[in-house]
Structure 1
Amino acid sequence: MDQLLALRVFARIAETGAFSKAADSMNIPRPTVTKLVQDLERHLGAKLLQRTTRQVSVTPEGAAYYERATRLIAELDDMDESATRARAQPRGRIRVDVGSVLANMILIPALPGFRARHPELHVDLGVSDRPLDLIGEGVDCVIRGGELADTSMVARRIADLDWVTCASPVYLGARGTPRHPLELVASEPASGDKTRVPGHAIAGYFSSLTGRAFPLEFRKGEEHLLVQGQPVVAVNESTAHLSALLAGAGIGQTFKFAVAPHLAAGHLRTVLGEWTRPRHPLHLVYPSSRHLSAKTRVFADWVAEVFAPFDDR
């Protein structure tokens, strides 16, 4: 039995909660993963994992063993990196996840420069706006925006992004240009008047978790408004949201860097420009329980360089 490999396999199963996820993330055949765990339990004379048809859980003995195993694995990784750092480039694969518009407009165009700097380090880039389980899906780090609720993660702030409220000239020509955020919402008729004034169409963005559209947010001086409006089109992916605005689906809010070329070309126009929205913080996030490897460290430093020109702070 390769005890070190068995330790790593057991730790990954404990983190992901599944033999199959551990096998896929480590690129090891599933039967091999099963055998390594069986051999390790036989060697120790203790049951580390409780397996059912639906899930895998860690036994009390397994929990104690996992805590010491992860410390040992981290120490071994540190030893390896210390011995090779001076003479070798980081190598292997790094799995990263990033939102669509950030990937297509910022990260992917810069990737050839990263590859030239680190030719032995290959990047697997997951492009989506959905929340994910970093440990369960074997992801080394993610780039995510907004306030971070998960305190078990380590977050490195890489930029703050400005928002723009905008719409296409075609839409504004047909529906008019609002002068106040409340004009985006349909107004109730005045007393004795049966006429309901329609609001503007909203090209919205909805949460992949809840399915609800996020409100538009406006600030001016002491005023702070959250406007839900009527999302006639709502998407849950940032590049598609930009496409909806360009197509004239309605008024929406998106990142300034993403719409800058379309504003310059006249394909979109800003509206309610005297109203702002609080900047959107971007973080590089990785699990606090995971050893920060050399490959993650160099990628994090490079990401900070790449996003620096887009930082609106």
Structure 2
Amino acid sequence: MDKFEPMVHGIRTLGLPALLSFHTVAKLGGISAAADELRMAKSGVSRHVSQLESHFGVSLLERGARSVRLTPVGRKLDERIRSILAEIDLLQDIAQEESVGVSGQVTIAATPEFGGLIATELFPVLRERHPNLTLVMRPDYAFEDMQDPGTDLAFRVGTFKDDRLVALELGAFSRWLVATPATQAQYAPKSPADLVTLPCLTFRGDRPGGTWRFVKAGTEETVEVSGPIAVRSFGILQQLVRAGQGFANLPSFMVRDEIANQTLVRCLKDYDAPEYPVFLTFRPGARNIARVDSVIEIAKQVVPRLLQQ
């Protein structure tokens, strides 16, 4: 048990409005903004924060002229309060779903391209099986804060380490080197080393260039590529490849159809690309909510097939 566990047990003597006020101040960075969101007087929000500080005997905020910042102990306490508020939302959801069945909103976070795959392929299946569900996709390359009860589920790509969350691995995908048939015919790379001097379109937001990885006969090869364009969007990179601007390493699920109809070609097919595992993540206890559990169960059936196509 760490030093904050007794604090959580002691919260039973405090009112939920105080916890909510402090969390809203922490989220928005100011007492005035929190008061506006909660539709309270600023004095009421300040009183709630003072009650918490008095109860725990510590300073939770560093107050400035225009804004406030959390103290180190304030940040740690806010993490626990977010979990408490999420559990209270969970109780409300469980009670509601006992009476109305699988309905309500499920909010999912994912990277934009993988989110597009989920929205177009998984959402119709969910709606067919549970017509009373409403679904929201939050596309972003940044990892969603899963301690925020506003997000129910998140798909994460790559390595995953967060002991606060449950993670189900649903499969994996590779990135394929692609180009238009004309670009491939013009440059005809035979090995990763040939890419050093070719126009490569890279996924980043600071400068062109990057490190691409390939595998052949169990041996990994890396190559430092450069090129005229870098964009932090696989979707835009795909459009640039279609326009004949160069080669790009794109998620396989984005380009399968275009390779099948020969709009694009897969280059260096003798080389495999490293796989990127896909995880579906959620807070402990989330499966007690019928609508969230229903989405998880259907995702477990559908998403692996999408990644294997």
TM-score by length of 2: 0.75
Equivalence for 2:70? 57
Please show how residues 10-21 of structure 1 align to structure 2 within 5 Å. 10-14=22-26, 16=27, 18-19=29-30
Q: Does the Cα contact within 8 Å between 1:163 and 1:277 map onto a contact in 2?
A: yes
The alpha carbon displacement at 1:278 in A equals 1.5
- Structure 2: how far apart are the matches of 1:96 and 1:13? 25
Q: Does the Cα contact within 8 Å between 1:203 and 1:250 map onto a contact in 2?
A: yes
Q: Does the Cα contact within 8 Å between 1:89 and 1:118 map onto a contact in 2?
A: no
2:203 pairs with one of 205, 217, 223: 205
Identical aligned residues as a percent = 19
Please show how residues 135-214 of structure 1 align to structure 2 within 5 Å. 135=147, 138-148=150-160, 152-175=164-187, 177-185=188-196, 199-206=197-204, 208=205, 213-214=209-210
Q: Does the Cα contact within 8 Å between 1:48 and 1:63 map onto a contact in 2?
A: no
Cα deviations by residue, 1:208-243 (Å, 9 ceiling, x for unpaired): 5x6674421111124211112213222111211221
- Structure 1: how far apart are the matches of 2:251 and 2:32? 35
Equivalence for 2:244? 248
- Structure 2: how far apart are the matches of 1:151 and 1:17? 26
The alpha carbon displacement at 1:117 in A equals 4.0
The alpha carbon displacement at 1:38 in A equals 3.0
Q: Give secondary structure in 2 for the equivalent of 1:32.
A: coil
The alpha carbon displacement at 1:45 in A equals 7.8
Equivalence for 1:191? none
The alpha carbon displacement at 1:178 in A equals 1.2
Equivalence for 1:234? 230
- Cα pair distance change 1:200/1:151, threshold 3 Å: farther
Please show how residues 269-308 of structure 1 align to structure 2 within 5 Å. 269-286=265-282, 294=289, 295-308=291-304
Q: Does the Cα contact within 8 Å between 1:21 and 1:136 map onto a contact in 2?
A: no
Pairing 1:262–2:275 present: no
Equivalence for 1:103? 115
- Structure 1: how far apart are the matches of 2:268 and 2:147? 42
Q: Give secondary structure in 1 for the equivalent of 2:270.
A: coil
Equivalence for 2:5? none
Please show how residues 52-131 of structure 1 align to structure 2 within 5 Å. 52=64, 53-57=66-70, 67=80, 73=85, 76-77=88-89, 79-131=91-143
Q: Does the Cα contact within 8 Å between 2:167 and 2:279 map onto a contact in 1?
A: yes
What runs of 5+ residues in structure 2 fail to find an aligned partner? 1-13
- Structure 1: how far apart are the matches of 2:96 and 2:109? 27
The alpha carbon displacement at 1:77 in A equals 4.5
The alpha carbon displacement at 1:3 in A equals 4.1
- Structure 2: how far apart are the matches of 1:43 and 1:54? 19
What runs of 5+ residues in structure 1 fail to find an aligned partner? 186-198
Aligned length: 290
* Larger RCO, structure (CA 8 Å, separation 6 or more): 1
Q: Does the Cα contact within 8 Å between 2:119 and 2:137 map onto a contact in 1?
A: no
Q: Give secondary structure in 1 for the equivalent of 2:257.
A: helix
- Cα pair distance change 1:31/1:81, threshold 3 Å: closer
The alpha carbon displacement at 1:101 in A equals 2.0
Aligned-pair Cα RMSD in Å: 3.8
Q: Give secondary structure in 1 for the equivalent of 2:99.
A: coil
Equivalence for 1:190? none
The alpha carbon displacement at 1:293 in A equals 6.3
- Structure 1: how far apart are the matches of 2:185 and 2:153? 44
